[in-house]
Structure 1
Amino acid sequence: MRYRIALIGSSGSGKSTLAMDIGKKLDIEVWHLDAILWKPNWILTPREAQKQIQSQLVSRKSWIIDGNYQSTLDIRLEAADTIIFMDMPRTLCLYRVWKRRLMYHNRSRPDMQSGCKEKIDLQFLKWIWDFPRKKRPQLQQKLADLGMDKQIITLKSPQEVKRLLDKLKDQV
């Protein structure tokens, strides 16, 4: 069976973890955009190269891709058959980002490019805090504008994530 799943949402919402869990359950390769688009020492791949990389990824038969990257989001949304919007509370996202920072202090996390040591700064925390007000409405509008042939799943709590994973387990 063919699956093309895009996971979007705030940093700390659980995109990468859910992508890995779904990938294991459905035996589909997972692509973490953070690991692909960031080079060592936090150097971001130029936008044109980002577009080329993602166009190649979405041309595959099946895939799971997690990441935001608003400037290239349409590539993934148009190619996906399923979009999972991780619409978690900002306090949970902030907690998870702090926890992740402590867990991976002075090293790269598994879903990140080697050479990108886990870090937090005020700008990043502000981005997460402002996500519900600034980014969520844009994402919701993009999702509303998509065709009816897309399955859009919005998850608002860890309990809803667990229910989705349990449902997948029952189907596989």
Structure 2
Amino acid sequence: MTKPMRRIMVIGPGGAGKSTLSKALAAKLDLPLIHLDKHYWQPGWVPMTEDHWPAAVEELAARETWVMDGNFAATFDIRMPRTDLVVFLDFGRWASLWGAVTRVLKQSGQVRSDMAPGCPEKFDAAFFVWLWNFPRDTRPTLTDALERYPQVPVVRLTSRRAIQRWLAAIT
């Protein structure tokens, strides 16, 4: 008998579709959806203070069920012990950049449903630099964190087509 998926983390670079997949997965499995960005960012793109963030994540992770969207590798040790499955959108640099640019063009000035009020979509050069450097700087941090929890299964998806196939196969 397989363990039920009651707490699922969705991670990966910006623009890969974490929020879109998380929304679809939560609906399909009838699980509550938690977008970490929505909790971390305050109006005007002000980050939550680092002394409050771990406690906020602990409270979110303590819930019985969830699909949790967001990297925040510094909080992996809070979330992973309660996680049943990690879905890692392991996209290449260009696919992520394409997704992020497309999102900015389509939603510029609007607050996305996965973001906090007062945080409209905008072109942010620092974000695009972070995204460009994701394979070198952030991906190793995520994979190292995943290796610390070998008991948690990881589904690694490398394209939007793979996401659709995987999502369609879930019952």
TM surpasses 0.5: yes
Match of 1:11 in 2: 14
Aligned counterparts of 2:5 and 2:112: Cα–Cα separation in 1: 29
Q: Provide the aligned C-alpha RMSD in A.
A: 1.3
**Paired residues for 1:21-170 under 5 Å:** 21-148=24-151, 150-168=152-170
Shift of 1:2: 5.5
Shift of 1:102: 1.5
1:118-165 CA-to-partner distances (Å, cap 9, x unmatched) read 1222221111111111211221122122132x1111111112111111
User: What TM-score do the two structures reach when normalised by structure 1?
Assistant: 0.92
Contact 1:7 1:65 (C-alpha < 8 Å) held by counterparts: yes
**Which letter does structure 2 place at the counterpart of 1:156?**
T
SS of the residue corresponding to residue 34 of structure 2 reads: strand
Deviates more, 1:57-66 or 1:69-78: 69-78
User: What TM-score do the two structures reach when normalised by structure 2?
Assistant: 0.92
Aligned counterparts of 1:78 and 1:11: Cα–Cα separation in 2: 24
**Which letter does structure 1 place at the counterpart of 2:29?**
L
Aligned counterparts of 1:48 and 1:28: Cα–Cα separation in 2: 29
